[in-house]
A and B are shown apart, each in its own frame.
Chain A
């Protein structure tokens, strides 16, 4: 008799196991819990910050906040698997270049109505609104922004009697002196695997990355202006020898590591990096300065305005609650605290204004770059594919390693970009 119950028991166990698996996904977004994914590493003390936010959120709405921290490196894959399995959170931090991509797939919910109701339309930072808008609707709530400028070693410049460069030629002049007088330093590394560091030179020379003409994307990388900028930038390494052999395969993180080790004199770096450098290398305190990236003949070369949005997922069962959280995070005290702790800029004009007027030498130049020289990459999901294929990185690296000339490399890159962006 006992035997007969065995299969039934096994089925019961199997059924329990199955429901347990699926239960984890479906019953989490209940009325009183809000699931949020936040990227790790932006704020050195993320968890403490969100403990405070969680308490404030519970106080305000009575709901519980469940924050999960995700690594940037595997975040994209996790979003995709969550979308496929229907286990997306209510809200997630999305990098500005991802928002359009996920919006295009239909996974995100538009938030225009909420923004209008809260009267925030005119207060949001335009650069972040641009990258968060897809097909005429806003999908990404501007949270924080960052921009890249040049950081340099003030002690080296003072020792050699150099002034901070204000034109491209002055960069070459300063680097030439550093190269001669301080052979232990890399004057101006040109990393071969860091696309964001390329675009300022393209825009600075009057070129374009890609523009929409009619319904076709046309890459400007092979135009004369862009070539001039790319020739100057890679020439810092290939003609002048201001870079190093290793830099040919560096990523942006390698550049930052080397700057922290004190082996680099000038580097293009993000507004969020000086704090990291000083944390890793306290001995550099007071020896770092920043300048906006000089224009070709004065002024500022535009650089990519990056950052993060908070995006609401279409699968969220409690969108009003989700908006409460968005508003709490992106306006008022918490947004200010976040910006202060991370070295990023707030996503609303009202909070940004005091920062722009700041006289901190490690904040002011970045603020200047952001306001006067912030630019946006093409806002289309297909540009994400260009980035994934590393079209720009491959172009720079092939020039640096001598595989291709500037003309060959830019021609190939422009053709590849057009192919991908026009869906061929």
Chain B
């Protein structure tokens, strides 16, 4: 580019100096964004890229406490990956639990969050503030605290749910909700939706307030009901917002750990409720097999990248059409 410009400058009859100066200015202009980005890129490289590379290198090793102490590396090729893929628990319990749970809780979170957002959009500013603060409280609650509250509510011997069911005569004996995988994950889903919907509600609300009122009024005049108005006007306008919300929720719900690990039986003693997060922790950190854990982390990252890529692609395709 610069060479070309210089040649042109030589050909030109105009005094030689100004174009040359212009070309130098152009070089600087081109480099400027990169120059400005350099500090951020160096920071990202040091904080994100290097650890990522390290994790990948660990995943190719049989890396345990002994290697940590000695500092030696111990490459075994793709042995860890082979072990992961040949693990039957992964295919029969861990993946079905993780994927099924992510599907259910992401859709529940997004639907419930959107409904709350629409409620808030139709409220007066005073009430919107009140509901908004109430929603924020659920968001601000630490995951650990929230989990313990749900555990107490569903406690088998003294929990609110069992006591209520028993006093209503619907149940004769106490039932332990944590031993059955379905009821276990129903409680986790309640916990996750409760903790996750405020983010969806607030984000969607911000989008909703940007939907032109005239359009909605015009649609109403034309006889469109609330459902039609949502799918014909609000949803298409808010599509980018929904995509962000769905991608983020998917990533979070795939990685859920504390909310399961802290539940009774969730830390490995009930094998039927293992999910990817807890399983990888038990198999790697619990047993000091950091290389194996790194391999799981690499696979999880790749999996989430694929999901995100597919989702973003379909989104852009639809937009083009």
What residues of chain A have their CB less than 8 Å away from a CB belonging to chain B? 77, 80, 83-84, 101-102, 104-107, 192-193, 244-251, 258, 263, 314, 384-385, 388-390, 393-394, 396-398, 400-401, 403, 420
Query: Is the beta-carbon distance between A246 and B265 smaller than 8 angstroms?
Result: no
- Residues from chain B with a CB closer than 8 A to the CB of A104 are 65-66
Query: Is the beta-carbon distance between B283 and A245 smaller than 8 angstroms?
Result: no
With contacts A245-B174, A249-B178, A389-B287 known, is A403 near B69, CB below 8 A?
no
Query: Is the beta-carbon distance between A389 and B268 smaller than 8 angstroms?
Result: yes
Residue on A nearest B289 in the bound complex, by CB: A385
Q: How far, in angstroms, from A199 to B174 measured CA to CA in the complex?
A: 28
What are 29 A-B pairs at a CB distance below 8 A? A77-B285, A80-B65, A80-B68, A83-B68, A84-B68, A105-B64, A105-B65, A105-B66, A105-B68, A106-B70, A193-B265, A245-B157, A245-B173, A245-B174, A247-B157, A248-B178, A248-B179, A248-B265, A249-B179, A384-B288, A388-B268, A389-B282, A390-B268, A393-B269, A394-B268, A394-B270, A397-B270, A403-B272, A420-B287
Query: Is the beta-carbon distance between A389 and B283 smaller than 8 angstroms?
Result: yes
Q: How far, in angstroms, from A398 to B270 measured CA to CA in the complex?
A: 7
Residue on A nearest B285 in the bound complex, by CB: A77
> B117 → chain A, closest Cβ, in Å?
37
Query: Is the beta-carbon distance between B68 and A192 smaller than 8 angstroms?
Result: no
Q: How far, in angstroms, from A398 to B269 measured CA to CA in the complex?
A: 8
Query: Is the beta-carbon distance between B265 and A249 smaller than 8 angstroms?
Result: yes
Residue on A nearest B264 in the bound complex, by CB: A249
- Residues from chain A with a CB closer than 8 A to the CB of B253 are none
Query: Is the beta-carbon distance between A246 and B65 smaller than 8 angstroms?
Result: no
Query: Is the beta-carbon distance between A397 and B265 smaller than 8 angstroms?
Result: yes
Q: How far, in angstroms, from A135 to B269 measured CA to CA in the complex?
A: 31
> B193 → chain A, closest Cβ, in Å?
22
Query: Is the beta-carbon distance between B269 and A394 smaller than 8 angstroms?
Result: yes
- Residues from chain B with a CB closer than 8 A to the CB of A80 are 65, 68, 288
Q: How far, in angstroms, from A105 to B283 measured CA to CA in the complex?
A: 18
- Which residues of B in the span 275-304 have a Cβ within 8 Å of any Cβ on A? 282-283, 285-288
Query: Is the beta-carbon distance between A107 and B271 smaller than 8 angstroms?
Result: no
- Residues from chain A with a CB closer than 8 A to the CB of B175 are 245
Query: Is the beta-carbon distance between B68 and A385 smaller than 8 angstroms?
Result: no
What residues of chain B have their CB less than 8 Å away from a CB belonging to chain A? 64-66, 68-70, 155-158, 173-176, 178-180, 264-265, 267-272, 282-283, 285-288
Residue on A nearest B270 in the bound complex, by CB: A397
Residue on B nearest A195 in the bound complex, by CB: B269
Query: Is the beta-carbon distance between B176 and A246 smaller than 8 angstroms?
Result: yes
Interface of A is mostly: helix
Known: A244-B174, A246-B155, A247-B157. 20 other contacts (CB 8 A): A77-B285, A101-B288, A105-B64, A193-B269, A244-B157, A245-B156, A245-B175, A249-B265, A258-B157, A384-B287, A389-B286, A394-B268, A394-B270, A396-B269, A397-B265, A398-B270, A398-B271, A401-B176, A401-B180, A420-B287
With contacts A193-B269, A388-B282, A398-B271 known, is A246 near B287, CB below 8 A?
no
Residue on A nearest B159 in the bound complex, by CB: A246
Residue on A nearest B272 in the bound complex, by CB: A403
Query: Is the beta-carbon distance between A192 and B65 smaller than 8 angstroms?
Result: no
Q: How far, in angstroms, from A258 to B272 measured CA to CA in the complex?
A: 26
With contacts A101-B65, A106-B70, A388-B287 known, is A393 near B176, CB below 8 A?
no
- Residues from chain A with a CB closer than 8 A to the CB of B178 are 248-249
> B266 → chain A, closest Cβ, in Å?
9
Query: Is the beta-carbon distance between A246 and B68 smaller than 8 angstroms?
Result: no
> A55 → chain B, closest Cβ, in Å?
34
Residue on A nearest B158 in the bound complex, by CB: A246
Q: How far, in angstroms, from A403 to B70 measured CA to CA in the complex?
A: 43
- Residues from chain B with a CB closer than 8 A to the CB of A83 are 65, 68-69
B282 interface neighbour in A84, A390, A400, Cβ under 8 Å:
A390
Q: How far, in angstroms, from A385 to B285 measured CA to CA in the complex?
A: 9
Query: Is the beta-carbon distance between B267 and A106 smaller than 8 angstroms?
Result: no
The 6 nearest A-B residue pairs measured at CB: A388-B286, A249-B264, A246-B156, A105-B65, A393-B269, A246-B157
Q: How far, in angstroms, from A219 to B287 measured CA to CA in the complex?
A: 18
Residue on B nearest A105 in the bound complex, by CB: B65
Residue on A nearest B157 in the bound complex, by CB: A246
> A412 → chain B, closest Cβ, in Å?
9
With contacts A193-B264, A394-B269 known, is A106 near B174, CB below 8 A?
no
Residue on B nearest A396 in the bound complex, by CB: B269
- Most chain-B CB neighbours within 10 Å: which of A101, A398, A400? A398
- Most chain-A CB neighbours within 10 Å: which of B69, B155, B158? B69
- Residues from chain A with a CB closer than 8 A to the CB of B283 are 389
With contacts A102-B65, A105-B64 known, is A248 near B286, CB below 8 A?
no
Query: Is the beta-carbon distance between B174 and A397 smaller than 8 angstroms?
Result: no
Query: Is the beta-carbon distance between B287 and A106 smaller than 8 angstroms?
Result: no
> A27 → chain B, closest Cβ, in Å?
20
Residue on A nearest B281 in the bound complex, by CB: A388
Query: Is the beta-carbon distance between B173 and A385 smaller than 8 angstroms?
Result: no
- Residues from chain A with a CB closer than 8 A to the CB of B155 are 246
- Residues from chain B with a CB closer than 8 A to the CB of A389 are 268, 282-283, 286-287
Q: How far, in angstroms, from A102 to B65 measured CA to CA in the complex?
A: 8
> B6 → chain A, closest Cβ, in Å?
30
Q: How far, in angstroms, from A246 to B173 measured CA to CA in the complex?
A: 11
- Residues from chain A with a CB closer than 8 A to the CB of B179 are 248-249, 397, 400-401, 403
With contacts A106-B66, A248-B156, A249-B178 known, is A394 near B271, CB below 8 A?
yes
Q: How far, in angstroms, from A388 to B69 measured CA to CA in the complex?
A: 21
> B181 → chain A, closest Cβ, in Å?
10
Query: Is the beta-carbon distance between B69 and A105 smaller than 8 angstroms?
Result: yes
With contacts A101-B288, A388-B282 known, is A107 near B270, CB below 8 A?
no
- Residues from chain A with a CB closer than 8 A to the CB of B180 are 401
- Residues from chain A with a CB closer than 8 A to the CB of B267 are 193, 390
> B82 → chain A, closest Cβ, in Å?
14
Q: How far, in angstroms, from A102 to B69 measured CA to CA in the complex?
A: 10
> A107 → chain B, closest Cβ, in Å?
5
With contacts A101-B288, A244-B156, A249-B264 known, is A401 near B69, CB below 8 A?
no
- Residues from chain B with a CB closer than 8 A to the CB of A263 are 157
- Residues from chain A with a CB closer than 8 A to the CB of B68 are 80, 83-84, 105
Residue on A nearest B286 in the bound complex, by CB: A388
Q: How far, in angstroms, from A80 to B284 measured CA to CA in the complex?
A: 13
- Most chain-B CB neighbours within 10 Å: which of A245, A263, A384? A245
> B155 → chain A, closest Cβ, in Å?
6
- Residues from chain A with a CB closer than 8 A to the CB of B271 are 394, 398
Q: How far, in angstroms, from A401 to B272 measured CA to CA in the complex?
A: 11
> A417 → chain B, closest Cβ, in Å?
13
